[in-house]
Amino acid sequence: MKLNIYIDKRPNKIGLFPVRLSVSFFGRRFITSIGTNLSQQEFDVVKSAFAGESSLKKTSRETLKELLRQLHSISDALDWEQAKVKRGEIEPVDVDLPAVINKVLGRSQKGRVEPKKLPDYWHDFISDERTKKDLSEGTLRQLNYCRIKLFKYAKNKPLDELATKQGLQDWVTYNVENGVNNVTAKMYLNYLKWFLGWAYRSGYCGNEFERYKFNLKIPSKLERNVVFLTIDEIEALANVPAYGRMAISRDMFLFQCFTGLRISDVYKLRHSDVSDMVMRLKIQKTGTYIANKLNKQALAVLSKYMDNDGDTIFPHIVLHSIQTDIRALAKLAGINDSVTRVEYRNHERIESIHEKWELLTTHAGRRSFIVNSLDLNLTPTQVISYTGHSSIQAMEPYISISNKKKDSAMDVWDAVAESEKESIEDEIKRLEERLKTLKSKH
């Protein structure tokens, strides 16, 4: 599939040129007008932004932003149809190109504007946010899970009905009653509020939803058992024989353990980001820029891939496969300590016991770096400078599980007790010597 935009050679009465779209789709070609008129300069700006060669300035007029959004939406819609063809679900001839494009543009086949429904709003929301933000693969996947649930629950509900306090309460209740724990229900609530926030700013609904407070219990800090690997466990994982994809998955995970990077940043790490033993890059999630010296362990991992072709250092492996590989290798490495998990489903508290390898995700690599760094006496401030956390508060869950720091803190009390014991023994010796002296005089 290929999309191309161009302008008519003949301007209209005020000197603007109609923008047209050309689509090539499995040997078929379709040309249509977008319905927007631009100057040559404005068109060049939009075309460059659509090609990913530049971005629109914040000062760009709204017409250009709307056109770019429409183009991305059309591209996404056609990508979806193309994927269905490749999966064998439909034939290329079954795709009604005019209908797909007109639906995105809000036009009927006869040119009438059709009222938007929830799927249309959601499609525009994703297109807008992907244009403005560099959304990670994980975030897009979670948003898609939320979309599936939301459409099943409220596909035909008016947007204004969702954007109320009662609308959000009903959404939370629906998720909890359908087997979702409270933490996941809160996550889906936050995704819906993100979507409604976009809709409110776009003028599609009110903002009563902003006053809704989530009131279900979630595990406390003491109940949350943060899963990470100790230094000995990391070494055991590294020593398990692995080949092919599993070896690459492990190396990506180990690199997280030695650097604290999120998997989204490991994915996009380029050869040009590493030089003179220093890794320089912009963190995808927070936008923070880091320039970190790499330790020997991280450099040893990188040395296997620095000569690879391609812009990124590590070959791309889908997230699910990496996590499956890590769990399999961790099981072979004997990383099987019992871990108690606490969750709340509505008002019920549920405990379950798992072996540690069962709970490993790629984020456990980042957690491992943080906790082990604290155990090795790096300060939270120093660790933040490596991980790109937004604040010291974000480090609190990890500080609370830094076992060696807790143990050394308890050693202070042992030292006090030992000091008191020595003081008493010294006093007894002094009194015994005094008593001997008195006896000798008599």
CATH code for the domain of 163: 1.10.150
Last residue of a domain, one of 186, 216, 246: 216
Q: Identify the weakest region by mean pLDDT among 30-44, 181-195, 314-328, 388-402.
A: 388-402
Residue 413 has pLDDT above 60, yes or no: no
Give residue 113's pLDDT: 45
> Contact at 8 Å (CB) between 124 and 105?
no
pTM for the full predicted model: 0.61
| Residue 145 maps to a domain | yes
367 vs 356: CA distance, rounded Å: 14
φ and ψ at 212, to 5 degrees? -75, 135
| Residue 187 maps to a domain | yes
Together in a domain, 263 and 211: no
Tens-digit pLDDT profile for residues 415-438? 655 666 677 777 777 777 777 777
| Residue 223 maps to a domain | no
Together in a domain, 407 and 392: no
Together in a domain, 236 and 372: yes
Tens-digit pLDDT profile for residues 328-363? 999 999 999 999 999 999 999 999 999 999 999 999
Tens-digit pLDDT profile for residues 241-274? 999 999 999 999 999 999 999 998 999 999 999 9
Residue range of the domain that includes 21: 1-114
Give the number of domains in the chain: 4
Give residue 408's pLDDT: 55
| Residue 224 maps to a domain | no
Q: Identify the weakest region by mean pLDDT among 4-13, 162-171, 308-317, 332-341.
A: 4-13
Tens-digit pLDDT profile for residues 79-131? 888 888 888 778 887 788 888 888 888 766 554 445 678 888 898 898 888 77
Together in a domain, 199 and 309: no
Task: Report the percentage of the chain scoring pLDDT > 70.
Answer: 89
Together in a domain, 261 and 348: yes
CATH code for the domain of 322: 1.10.443.10
Query: What residue has token string 């939270």?
Result: 380
Together in a domain, 81 and 152: no
| Residue 225 maps to a domain | no
Query: What residue has token string 């090539």?
Result: 24
Give the residue ranges of DSSP H helices in 21-117. Answer: 40-50, 62-86, 97-104
Together in a domain, 425 and 357: no
Give residue 111's pLDDT: 44
Give residue 280's pLDDT: 93
Task: Report the percentage of the chain scoring pLDDT > 90.
Answer: 38
Query: What residue has token string 């143990």?
Result: 407
Element (H, E) at 5: strand 2-7
Tens-digit pLDDT profile for residues 225-250? 889 999 999 999 999 999 999 999 99
Together in a domain, 235 and 377: yes
Together in a domain, 247 and 358: yes
Three-class DSSP labels, the chain: CEEEEEECCCCCCCCCEEEEEEEEECCEEEEEEEEEEECHHHHHHHHHHHCCCCCCCCCCCHHHHHHHHHHHHHHHHHHHHHHHHHCCCCCHHHCCHHHHHHHHCCECCCCCECCCCHHHHHHHHHHHHHHHCCCCHHHHHHHHHHHHHHHHHHCCCCHHHHCCHHHHHHHHHHHHHCCCCHHHHHHHHHHHHHHHHHHHHCCCCCCHHHHCCCCCCCCCCCCCCCCCCCHHHHHHHHCCCCCHHHHHHHHHHHHHHHHCCCHHHHHHCEHHHEECCEEEEECCCCCCEEEEECCHHHHHHHCCCCCCCCCECCCCCCHHHHHHHHHHHHHHCCCCCEEEEEEEECCEEEEEEEEHHHHCCCHHHHHHHHHHHHHCCCCHHHHHHHHCCCCHHHHHHHHCCCHHHHHHHHHHHHHHHHHHHHHHHHHHHHHHHHHHHHHHHC
Tens-digit pLDDT profile for residues 4-56? 888 887 777 778 888 888 888 887 778 888 888 888 888 888 888 888 877 77
> Contact at 8 Å (CB) between 341 and 351?
yes
Last residue of a domain, one of 114, 133, 151: 114
Residue 401 has pLDDT above 60, yes or no: yes
Give residue 384's pLDDT: 83
> Contact at 8 Å (CB) between 199 and 121?
yes
Together in a domain, 349 and 237: yes
| Residue 275 maps to a domain | yes
| Residue 409 maps to a domain | yes
Together in a domain, 358 and 240: yes
Together in a domain, 44 and 190: no
Reported as a pLDDT band with limits 50, 70 and 90, residue 201 is confident
Per-chain mean pLDDT for the chain: 84
Last residue of a domain, one of 73, 97, 114: 114
| Residue 226 maps to a domain | no
